[in-house]
């Protein structure tokens, strides 16, 4: 979370960038490059392409920074550009992959079917974490992005709604569906793994 001081210095950097100060904009790039690259990489699952897209995100941001009026935070605005860039990349590569309503078979809590996972043993836990990471990678981009924004970046519902351009009321259900789908993917992978008893 940004402190008041950081926000104030960020506002100054944004104002300077709006006047064409490229050095100030470079500071903003430094502030957010890791986050934006991680966010994009998480969605497109290709490191090389993610780096290109992340660069495009910052270039687009600079080109349209004079249109940034401060109604949302700069960070949220940047994430929205990143999300749009990642989506348009995915649309080009895999047309039809992204639908507005990514309907997934829901599985919220798999009653009684949870495979036993020994979470106390470090190696078993590591294996399970690997499976979760693999499952996360195959989720639809919308689910991946909402999970990352909510659990990792700790954005608030209204900020996620601005970034993903969806109504605020839909954010909660999207998170819910994303977790449900992730559970299902983990479950599918565990079923294929002979080390786990179902």
Task: Report the residue number, 94 or 151, with the smaller CB distance to another protein.
Answer: 151
CA-based nearest residue to 171, from 188, 184, 156: 156
Query: Can you tell me whether residue 126 is helix, strand or coil?
Result: helix
Q: What is the DSSP letter of 148?
A: I
CA angle (16 as vertex; 14, 22 as ends), nearest 5: 95
Q: CA-CA distance, 43 to 69, in Å (whole number)? A: 27
Q: Toward another protein, which CB reaches closer, 90 or 162?
A: 162
- Smallest gap from residue 53 Cβ to another protein (A): 11
**Cβ within 8 Å of residue 75, ≥6 positions away:** 2, 10, 32
H/E run at residue 49:
helix 47-63
Closer residue to another protein (CB): 35 or 102 = 35
Instruction: Answer whether 106's CB lies under 8 Å from 181's CB.
Output: yes
Residue number, 96 or 122, with CB nearest to another protein:
122
CB nearer another protein, residue 52 or residue 102:
52
CB of 8 to another protein, least distance (A): 22
Question: Where do contacts with another protein occur on this chain (CB under 8 A)?
Answer: 22, 25-26, 29-30, 33-35, 37-38, 41-42, 47, 50-51, 54-55, 58-59, 62-64, 66-67, 69, 108-112, 114, 116-117, 119, 125, 128-129, 132-133, 136, 147-148, 150-152, 154, 172, 175-176, 179, 182-183, 186
In angstroms, what is the minimal distance from the CB of 137 to another protein? 11
Site of tokens 């926000």:
7
């Amino acid at each position: 979370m940004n402190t008041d001081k950081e926000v104030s210095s960020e506002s100054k950097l944004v104002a300077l960038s709006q006047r064409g100060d490229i050095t100030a904009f470079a500071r903003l790039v430094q502030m957010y490059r890791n986050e934006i690259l991680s966010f994009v990489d998480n969605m497109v699952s290709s490191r090389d392409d993610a780096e290109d897209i992340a660069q495009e995100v910052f270039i687009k941001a600079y080109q349209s920074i004079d249109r940034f009026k401060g109604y949302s935070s700069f960070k949220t605005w940047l994430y929205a550009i990143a999300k749009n860039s990642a989506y348009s990349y995915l649309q080009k590569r895999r047309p039809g992959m992204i639908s507005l309503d990514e309907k997934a078979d829901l599985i919220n809590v798999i009653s009684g079917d949870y495979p036993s996972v020994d979470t106390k043993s470090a190696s078993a836990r590591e294996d399970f974490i690997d499976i979760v990471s693999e499952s996360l990678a195959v989720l639809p981009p919308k689910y991946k992005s909402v999970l990352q924004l909510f659990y990792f970046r700790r954005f608030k519902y209204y900020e996620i709604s601005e970034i993903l351009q969806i109504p605020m009321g839909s954010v909660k259900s999207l998170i819910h569906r994303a977790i449900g789908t992730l559970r299902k993917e983990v479950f599918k992978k565990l079923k294929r793994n002979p080390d786990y008893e179902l």
